[in-house]
């Protein structure tokens, strides 16, 4: 058995299409701070999404993974929606909008993200790459939705 050592990370050649250096990508995500009061499970999801965005400097595809991961706001919805049980995400989104827990814009965003996530998870979308410049606003929206849901009275 041969042992292969992984090389130290080097910037993905595509990284320079959107930033000049790692410090620049850090600047893109520095405002993605998990607000106080967010349940730890959701906070972990958001922090992981932010770090995946930062690491997309080295692995371009991580920006897509960051977007997919940031869409796990389902954790907060289950906490806020009465009788959420094991309802699928599309039902939680509909119920959240009907109950006034989600705005129409939030519900639309979450449903669009759900469709993207499902397409990738079920093999309908197999080679999607979202450039970091497009991924940052999407992840930012997830941060905002979680923050708004956690700030609202339970």
Average pLDDT over all residues of the chain? 88
Task: Please indicate, yes or no, whether the overall pTM of this predicted structure exceeds 0.85.
Answer: no
Kindly state the tokens that stand for 75: 């954790």
Percentage of the chain lying above the pLDDT 70 cut: 95
CB burial of residue 20 (10 Å; 0-12, 13-18, 19+):
exposed
SS3 57: coil
How far does Cα 123 stand from its chain's mean position? 19
Tens digits of per-residue pLDDT, 17-33? Answer: 888 999 999 899 999 99
User: Quick one: pLDDT at residue 53?
Assistant: 95
Those residues with Cβ within 8 angstroms of residue 9's Cβ, 6 or more apart along the chain or in another chain: 58, 59
Q: What is the pLDDT of residue 128?
A: 67
Sign of the Cα torsion 53, 143, 85, 93 reads: negative
DSSP-assigned states of every residue in 106-139: HHHHHHHHHHHHHHHHTTSS-S----HHHHHHHH
Classify residue 73 as exposed, middle or buried by CB count within 10 Å of its CB (0-12, 13-18, 19+): buried
Least confident of 42-51, 100-109, 128-137: 128-137
pLDDT at 122 over 80: no
Q: Are 87 and 96 in contact (CB under 8 A)?
A: no
Tokens describing residue 85: 């049980």
Q: What is the mean pLDDT of residues 57-69?
A: 91
Q: What is the average pLDDT across 100-108?
A: 92
Q: Are 149 and 77 in contact (CB under 8 A)?
A: yes
Distances (CA, A) of 136 to 8, 30, 52: 25, 11, 11
């Amino acid at each position: 058995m041969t042992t292969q050592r992984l090389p130290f990370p080097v910037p993905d050649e595509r990284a320079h299409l959107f930033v000049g250096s790692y410090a620049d990508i850090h600047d893109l995500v520095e405002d993605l701070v998990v607000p106080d009061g967010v349940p730890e499970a959701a906070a972990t999801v958001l922090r992981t999404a932010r770090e995946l965005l930062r690491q997309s400097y080295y692995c371009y595809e991580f920006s897509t993974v960051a977007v997919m991961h940031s869409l796990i706001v389902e954790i907060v919805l289950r906490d806020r929606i009465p009788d959420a049980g094991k309802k699928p995400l599309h039902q939680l989104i509909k119920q959240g909008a009907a109950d006034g827990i989600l705005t129409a814009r939030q519900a639309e965003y979450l449903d669009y993200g759900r469709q993207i996530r499902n397409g990738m998870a079920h093999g309908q979308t197999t080679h999607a790459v979202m450039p970091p410049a497009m991924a940052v606003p999407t992840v930012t929206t997830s941060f905002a939705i979680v923050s708004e849901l956690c700030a609202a009275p339970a």
